[in-house]
């Protein structure tokens, strides 16, 4: 039996902004999940293109969060890193792709630090956090 001081989040108790955000996320999932499954089912080149688009979108979002709504050179470097790593993965050069991600993450962090952009370490980490799974998805699918 639940305690009397625990309140369940319902339409009545949850703030309206949270409900709108939840609805937006559900609609996004309903659109993106079939798209991702289609990419996995169809394979190359569709999955490669889908991973590239999603990877760049994720690095953009990550850098916007870290940079206070500024993409900047470190963000562009992260996006180019993701694309070059995916191109190496398309050519089935997975160790090279992972090396590109590691080097791009370091350069992205250093670039952010030199430009005194906020959260420099997080920008570099974001390139790793997004780039490694992008390469791994392609590597697993191609295996």
Looking at residue 10, what is its pLDDT? 54
Looking at residue 80, what is its pLDDT? 94
Looking at residue 6, what is its pLDDT? 54
| Confidence band, pLDDT 50/70/90 cuts, at residue 100 | very high
DSSP state for residue 91 in the 8-state scheme:
T
Helix, strand and coil content of the chain, in percent to the nearest 5, comes to: 80, 0, 20
Convert the pLDDT of each residue in 27-50 to its tens digit.
988 988 998 888 888 878 888 999
Percent of the chain scoring above 70 in pLDDT: 84
Residue 43 backbone zone (phi > 0: left; psi -120 to 50: alpha; other: beta):
left
pTM metric for this prediction: 0.73
Length of the chain: 143
């Amino acid at each position: 039996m639940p305690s009397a001081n625990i309140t369940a989040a319902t339409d009545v108790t949850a703030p309206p902004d949270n409900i709108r955000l939840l609805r937006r996320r559900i609609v996004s999932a309903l659109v993106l999940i079939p798209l991702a499954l289609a990419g996995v089912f169809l394979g190359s080149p569709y999955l490669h293109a889908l991973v590239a688009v999603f990877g760049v979108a994720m690095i953009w979002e990550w850098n916007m969060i870290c940079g206070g709504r500024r993409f900047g050179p470190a963000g562009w470097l992260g996006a180019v890193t993701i694309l070059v790593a995916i191109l190496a993965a398309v050519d089935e050069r997975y160790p090279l792709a992972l090396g590109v991600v590691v080097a791009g993450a370091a350069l992205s962090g250093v670039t952010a630090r030199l430009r005194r952009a906020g959260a420099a370490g997080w920008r570099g980490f974001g390139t790793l956090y997004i780039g490694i799974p992008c390469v791994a998805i392609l590597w697993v699918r191609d295996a």
